[in-house]
Structure 1
Amino acid sequence: MTQIGSSAAEQIISVPGRPDAVISLAWGAATDTGHKRSHNEDSFVAKAPIFAVADGMGGHSAGDVASAAVVTRLAEVISADFTEADAVEQGLRAATIDISRAADEKELGVGTTVAGAALTLQGGDPYWMVFNVGDSRVYMFEQNELTQVSVDHSVVQELVDAGMIRAEDAESHPDSNVITRAVGFNAEPMPDYWMVPVRKELRLLLCSDGLTKELDKERIRLHMAAGLAPSETAQALVDAALAAGGRDNVTTIVVDVVDSTGAFDLDHTIPRGGQNPSSE
C-alpha cells in the first residue's frame, strides 16, 4: 500500500487566462486491508490536480508493487494545476516498465487496475478528466443523484452490454472477477477517458472494487448524500464495506468542488445509460 497525499480541507486553484475564475476543492481518502486479505495491495494518490486509486494483482507483494508504481508515476508526471491525457499516458507507460522490472519471473502476471480524475482544460474551461483501466471506478454525485462515470473493463460488463446476462446477476457470475484490461503484464496501457465539468457542489468518488462488491449503488449514494466532509465520507464508505463483509482491500477518495466561479460553457461526456452491472 502506497499513499501519496492526504486529506485537504480546502485548496484554491486559479484557472489560467480567466481572472474571474477560481476553483476551490476539498478531498479525503481512506483505505483498509479488509477482513480476508493478509496485506493491502491498493494504493492511491490524492494530491491536486491528480486523484487516483489503483488495485494491484499478482500474488504476494507483487500487486502492491504494481499499484504503487502507477500512483507514484502519475504523481511524478502531473504537477501543474492542470494536465492533459498525454501526461496520464506517460505515467502509465512508465509504471508498466517499473512493473515489468519488479515482477518475479515465477509470477504468472503482475498488474493493477486504476481509476482517476485529473484537472484539465478544454477550450479554457475546467474539467475533470476521468480515466480508468480495469474495474476500479469513478462516480459523480450531483443534485442527489449518483452516476457511474467510468465503465468497467471486465468480462461481466461485456456480457451485460451484449444482453447475455442481466445486470443484477453480474456479481454472482463465475467470471465476476475477470478483467479485460490492466496496467502491467508488459502490455501497452489503454485507458478510457470522460470529461466532467468542474461545477460547484459536484462530488466525485474514486474507489477500488472492494467497495462496490460490498455496497450497492443506493448504499453508496446515501453515504455521498449524508453531507459529511470528504474525509469523513471516505472513511464512512470504507467502514460500511468492512461491516458488509470486507472481503477485499477497500480504498476510497472523495473530492468536493466547494466552489467554481466564472461563466463556463460546460457539458459532460459520461456514458448515457451504460452503467456498470454491479453499480445497480
Structure 2
Amino acid sequence: MPEVSTQSRTVPVPGGVLELSWAGVTDTGRRREVNQDAFFADYPLFVVADGMGGHVGGEIASASTIDRLTAVADAGHVTPKTIEKALARAVKDIASHPDATDDGTGTTVTGVFLDTSGEAAHWVTLNIGDSRVYLVRDGAIVQITTDHSVVQELVAAGRLSPEEAENHPYGNVITRAVGPSDGVKPDYVRLDVADGDRFVICSDGLTKELTDYGIRHFLDENADPAAAVTAMMEAALENGGRDNITIVVLDVTDPAAARDEDEAEEADEAGTDDGDVAEEDAATPADADGTGSSTAAD
C-alpha cells in the first residue's frame, strides 16, 4: 500500500472560512490483478470511481471519468451542470476507446463538492452506481448516497432485508453507471456545513469488507485522515480484500463555530462559579451586625 499523507486547506466561504483536511488511498486488493478504481481528492471536489467491464475496460472507464472531473475541479467551477458535461465527455471517451467496447464497460462515480455560490456554503453529494458517501455528524454515521443496484431495489421494495442483502448473489449488479449505453445524470443531495463533519467516500471494495460500524470504529480511533484511511485499508485487506478498494476521508472544521462553542462552555463554567459565590453572599447579609451571631434576636 502506498504511503498516505493528509492534505489541508483553508477555504473562504460566505461569512467566514472552513478548514478542510483530507487523505485518499486506493489498492488493487488481494484477489484482482488490475485496479479498476480511481479517485480525485482536492478542493472543491472529492470523488471515487469504480470501473467494470473487460480486462482493462473498467480501468479506462474510471480513469476517463476521473480525468474529466479533475478538469472541472481545476477550472474552479464545480456545479451539477459542469459535472454532467464532464460525465458526458467521459462517456464519449469510453465509447471511442478500442479496449472499452464490452457491453458491461462502465464505472460508478460518487463524491462530494463544496458549493460556495449562495449566501451560505453547502456540501453537495453526487452518485451514480454503488460506491458510497458516508457522513459522521453528532456521533452518528449515515450513508448519504443510495446505491443504484439490484439488491438496493429489492430492499427498497421490502423483498429483501438489509442483512440478506449483504450476501446476495446479485450484490455486484448495479442498475446505473457511467458508460456508453447509460445516462450520466447523478443523484444529488444537498447538506448544510457543520463543524466537525467527517465524510467517507469509498468504492464497494471497502463496504464488502467493513460494516458501517467498522468504518465508524476506525474513524473514532484515528483523528488524522491519513491514519483513518490507512487503518480502514489495512482492515479491509485483512478481511479478504476481495475487490479493488478506494477510500477518501474528508474532515471539516468551522473555526468560528468551534470558537463559539468554546466561549459558550467558558460562559457556562463562569456562570456556575458566579452562582456559587452569589449563594455564599446571599447567606451573609442575614447577620445585620456582620458578626454572624444572633445578637439582634437577643
Question: Is the 1:140–1:204 Cα contact (8 Å) retained in structure 2?
Answer: yes
- On the 8 A contact 1:223/1:236 being kept in 2, the answer is yes
1:179 has 2:174 as partner = yes
Indicate the structure with greater helix content. 2
5 Å-filtered alignment, 1:196-215, equals 196-215=191-210
**Any conservation in 2 of the 1:214–1:245 contact (CA below 8 Å)?**
yes
Residue in structure 2 matching 1:77, options 66, 72, 76 = 72
1:57 aligned onto 2:57: no
1:86 maps to which of 77, 81, 89: 81
Distance in 1, Cα, partners of 2:149 & 2:100 = 26
- 8 Å CA contact 1:137–1:148 kept in 2: the answer is yes
Tell me the residue number matched to 2:235: 240
Displacement of 1:90 in angstroms is: 1.3
Aligned 8 A contact 1:62 1:103 in 2? no
Instruction: Answer yes or no: is the 8 Å Cα contact 1:13–1:81 preserved in 2.
Output: no
Alignment of 1:31-42 (within 5 A): 31-42=26-37
Give the whole-Å Cα distance in 2 for the aligned partners of 1:48 and 1:7. 16
Q: Say if 1:81 and 1:54 are closer, same or farther in 2 by CA, change over 3 A.
A: same
Deviation at 1:208? 0.3
| Unmatched 5+ stretches in structure 2 | 258-298
Measured in 2, the distance between the counterparts of 1:49 and 1:77 equals 10
Structure 1: gaps of 5 or more residues: 263-280
Going from structure 1 to structure 2, the CA distance change for 1:31 and 1:184 (only over 3 Å counts) comes to same
Paired with 2:226 and 2:38, the residues of 1 have a C-alpha distance of 17
Deviations, residues 189-229 of structure 1 (Å, cap 9, x unaligned) = 13100012221110000000000011111111111112430
1:7–1:46 Cα contact (<8 Å) kept:
no
100-109 vs 137-146, greater mean Cα deviation: 100-109
Residue identity matched to 1:221: R
* Amino acid aligned to 1:173: H
Partner of residue 135, structure 2? 140
Q: Could you state the TM-score of these two structures normalised by the residue count of structure 1? A: 0.86
CA contact (8 A) 1:78 1:87 kept: no
On the 8 A contact 1:154/1:179 being kept in 2, the answer is yes
TM-score if structure 2 supplies the norm length?
0.81
Instruction: Name the counterpart of 1:14.
Output: 12
Given that 1:49 and 1:79 are in contact with CA atoms closer than 8 Å, whether structure 2 keeps it comes out as no
Q: Quick one: percent identity of the two aligned structures?
A: 43
2:268 maps to: none
In structure 2, distance between residues paired with 1:81 and 1:27: 18
Q: Distance in 2 between the 1:81 and 1:126 partners?
A: 15
Distance 1:9 1:184 in 2: 31
Matches within 5 A, 1:15-30: 15=13, 18=14, 20-30=15-25
Distance apart, 1:187 and its partner CA: 2.5
1:150 is the counterpart of 2:145 = yes
Structure 1 residue 261, shift from structure 2 partner: 3.6
Alignment of 1:219 with 2:214, yes or no, is: yes
The Cα of 1:7 is off from its aligned counterpart by 4.6
Structure 1 contact 138–206 (Cα < 8 Å) conserved: yes
- Say which SS state the counterpart of residue 254 (structure 1) adopts: strand
Equivalent residues, number: 256
CA distance in 1, matches of 2:176, 2:201: 18
Judged with a 3 Å threshold, the aligned counterparts in structure 2 of structure 1 residues 210 and 42 are, in CA distance, closer, same or farther, namely same
| 1:230-259 Cα distance to aligned partner (Å, 9 max, x none) | 111111111111011100000000000023
Question: Offset of 1:88 from its aligned partner?
Answer: 1.2
Deviation at 1:10, TM superposition (A): 2.0
Counterpart secondary structure, 1:156: helix
* Distance apart, 1:188 and its partner CA: 2.2
